[in-house]
Amino acid sequence: MTETPQQRYEISSDPSRLDAARIHNWLSTDAYWALGRTRERQDLAIAGSLNLGAYDLASGEQVAYARVVTDGATFGWLCDVYVDRAARGHGLGARIVAAARDHLAEAGVRRVVLATEDAHGVYEKVGFKPLDSPDKWMSLKLG
């Protein structure tokens, strides 16, 4: 009998459990949106965000990560979602995103956005959809 992700992995928002070195390695070497990000920059991002980790129950090893930039009251930006290559294919990406969604909803946050190049299906499974009026949104790139 195959274990389900719920049986094999635990999701936690406890910042003391994060493996910051592992997160940095994943993102700076294997995530198209963060290639080359410095460890210092990543540590600053972690410090200023809500972070979730997924941990293998047998080994305690962190196997996935999601970060939310949020005020904790009205708005959140989901970013830096990453599942270790060895843990993919078991629904863990959707599970950690659902955990982030639920955490924010419990805090009263009502608007969460994200950007993705290639994982629309993962996010749609937990309720994300394209913006109704993308022409109303603007961005400013610094540096």
Token couple for 40: 């210092």
Q: Report CA dihedral (82, 84, 90, 95) to the nearest 10 degrees.
A: -30
Q: What is the pLDDT of residue 125?
A: 94
Radius of gyration of the chain (CA): 15
Confidence class of residue 4 from pLDDT cuts 50, 70 and 90?
low
Residue in 29, 80, 143 with CA at minimum distance from that of residue 37: 29
Q: What is the mean pLDDT of the chain?
A: 94
Q: Which fold has domain 5-126?
A: Aminopeptidase (3.40.630)
Q: What is the pLDDT of residues 73-104, one digit of tens each?
A: 999 999 999 999 999 999 999 999 999 999 99
Q: What is the pLDDT of residue 5?
A: 56
Indicate whether 140 pLDDT > 70.
Answer: yes
Strand duo 50-56 + 75-83: pairing = unpaired
Q: What is the pLDDT of residue 79?
A: 97
Q: What is the pLDDT of residue 21?
A: 98
Q: What is the pLDDT of residues 96-131, one digit of tens each?
A: 999 999 999 999 999 999 999 999 999 999 999 999
